[in-house]
Amino acid sequence: MEKVIAVVVTYNREALLSECITALRNQSRPLDAILIVNNGSTDGTETWLNQQNDLFFINQQNVGSSGGFSAGINWAYKNDYALDMVYG
């Protein structure tokens, strides 16, 4: 069975990120991993991420959503996760 990962790109949206992660954790098909790409947030997002023990995350300078998704997809590919693009 393929490993499934959710890649979430964020910038200064700590409260919304927490809400998004809660929804991802409660999916009917459990995810094998959740990867957060933090695009240089300054609002406490990095602190919140460091408190989560079930997430992978990348902290990087803000390279926009495209750059964030590129970093996340590259990470997923290198770690043998199935790639299926869904943007919402």
CA–CA separation, 28 vs 8, rounded Å? 18
Quote the CA–CA distance of 87 and 8 in Å, as a whole number.
10
Instruction: Supply the pLDDT for residue 1.
Output: 73
| CA distance linking residue 1 with residue 36, whole number of Å | 23
How many other C-beta atoms lie within 10 A of the C-beta of residue 76? 20
pLDDT of residue 10: 96
First-to-last C-alpha distance (Å) of the chain: 25
pLDDT of residue 82: 74
Predicted confidence (pLDDT) per residue in 14-70, tens digit: 999 999 999 999 999 899 999 999 999 999 999 999 999 999 999 999 999 999 999
Q: How many CB atoms lie within 10 A of CB 24?
A: 14
